[in-house]
């Protein structure tokens, strides 16, 4: 499994956290606190919009940015 | 179609028209430059008749991406209109394939010619978005491998026109053309996972016949 982020090209802010599974499943992390299937990540990959990150970085993003947004919501 | 979906469709169509109008204005200069560069680096430019993405495809692509963004956006406290606008603006701004070109290189010359092309583009003041260089050859055998073989880059011209340039060998271009419909399917959010997996496996298997350009993984 590989983790990816998509950033806002102007601000550098992470707008999507995603992951690619061996079985072709592609998911994005929802600020509701769980992973949801999202095949548009395949298109984002083709467009060069995704940056690979480690699992540790992904967990950090979930713990910081996404939990903060969830609280704000 | 509910109200939110209708708004997304309408805004996407508006954006698609705007992007295409802007691209049509800037295209002649870019095409001329790329034709000159192709001649310098011994590339064949193919698919020029398809250099503009169709308005329908562009709008569909925007709709799919905004729909995927929306469930999260709606719980951040903004109104639906604001969130649709925010997502469409982001997705339209990212778009690189309203205008797209393809260079074909000989397999043995691929890496050298790719580097030469980047130099020639820089000399003509084209900005290559470093983070958006997608070298699919490097993904062979890993989880990102979907059977696509080639390099796609995103550029910005001096008129601020964003566009895509793809680099293929004859074989990888033929493969892309042959498998185009299957790629469309795996990007769809309505395809069942099992079917997506089957298609991906088929694409990867088909791509095994493609000769890998020498030195490509070190790029």
Q: Per the structure block, which two tokens stand in for A2?
A: 């590989």
- HEC string of chain A? CEEEEEECCCCCCEEEEEEECCCCCEEEECCCCCEEECCHHHHHHHCCCEEEECHHHHHHHHHHHHHHHHHHC
B98 DSSP 8-state letter = S
- B-chain CB neighbours of A2 within 8 Å are 142-144
Total domains, chain B: 1
Q: Look at B146 and A45 and tell me if their CB atoms are within 8 Å.
A: yes
Longest dimension (CA), chain B: 55
Tens digits of pLDDT across chain B (219 residues): 677 888 899 999 999 999 999 999 999 999 999 999 999 999 999 999 999 999 999 999 999 999 888 766 555 566 778 888 889 999 999 999 999 999 999 999 999 999 999 999 999 999 999 999 999 999 999 999 999 999 999 999 999 999 999 999 999 999 999 999 999 999 888 899 999 999 999 999 999 999 999 999 888
Which domain, by its residues, includes B94?
A: 3-218
pLDDT at position B162 is 97
What pLDDT does A31 receive? 80
User: Could you give the CA distance from residue B87 to residue B70 in angstroms, rounded to a whole number?
Assistant: 8
Residue A69 host element (H or E)? helix A67-72
Q: Are A33 and A43 in contact (CB under 8 A)?
A: no
Interface confidence (ipTM) of the complex: 0.88
Q: What are B's interface residues with A at a Cβ cutoff of 8 A?
A: 61, 64-65, 68-69, 71-72, 75-77, 90, 93-97, 129, 131-134, 142-144, 146, 148, 152-154, 164, 183, 186-189, 191, 193, 196-197, 200
Cα distance between residue B219 and residue B112, in whole Å: 10
Token pair in block for residue B167: 């680099």
Alpha-carbon distance of A12 to A34, in angstroms, equals 23
Exposure letters B61-97 (e unless 16+ CB within 10 A, then b): bbbbbbbbbbebbeeeeeeeeebbebbbebbbebbbb
Q: What is the pLDDT along chain A (73 residues), one digit of tens a residue?
A: 999 999 998 899 999 999 999 999 999 998 888 999 999 999 999 999 999 999 999 999 999 887 655 555 5
Burial of B120 per CB tally in 10 Å (0-12, 13-18, 19+): middle
Q: Is the dihedral of CA B72, A32, A3, B141 positive or negative?
A: negative
User: What is the pLDDT, as a whole number, of residue B36?
Assistant: 98
Contact B68, B5 (CB under 8 A): no
Q: Does A13 touch chain B (CB under 8 A)?
A: no
């Amino acid at each position: 499994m590989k983790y990816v982020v998509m950033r806002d090209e102007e601000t550098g802010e992470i707008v999507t956290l995603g992951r690619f599974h061996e079985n072709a499943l592609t998911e994005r992390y929802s600020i509701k606190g769980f992973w949801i299937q999202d095949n548009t990540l395949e298109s984002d990959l083709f467009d060069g919009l995704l940056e690979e990150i480690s699992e540790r970085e992904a967990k950090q993003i979930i713990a910081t940015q996404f939990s903060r947004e969830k609280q704000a919501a | 179609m509910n109200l939110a979906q209708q708004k997304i469709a309408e805004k996407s169509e508006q954006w698609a028209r705007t992007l295409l109008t802007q691209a049509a204005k800037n295209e002649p200069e870019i095409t001329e430059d790329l034709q000159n560069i192709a001649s310098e680096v011994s590339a064949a430019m193919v698919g020029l008749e398809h250099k503009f993405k169709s308005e329908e495809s562009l709008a569909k692509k925007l709709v799919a991406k905004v729909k995927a963004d929306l469930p999260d956006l709606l719980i951040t406290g903004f109104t639906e209109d604001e969130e649709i606008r925010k997502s469409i603006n982001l997705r339209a701004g990212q778009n690189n394939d309203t205008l797209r070109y393809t260079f074909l290189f000989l397999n043995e010359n691929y890496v050298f010619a790719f580097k030469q092309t980047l130099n020639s583009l820089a000399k003509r003041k084209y900005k290559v978005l470093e983070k958006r260089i997608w070298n699919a050859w490097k993904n062979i055998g890993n989880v990102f491998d979907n059977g696509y073989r080639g390099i796609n880059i995103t550029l910005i011209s001096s008129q601020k026109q964003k566009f895509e340039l793809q680099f293929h060998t004859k074989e990888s271009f033929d493969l892309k053309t042959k498998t185009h419909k299957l790629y469309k399917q795996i990007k769809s959010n309505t395809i069942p996972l099992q079917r997506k997996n089957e298609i991906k496996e088929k694409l990867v298997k088909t791509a095994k016949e493609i000769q890998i350009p020498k030195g490509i993984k070190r790029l």
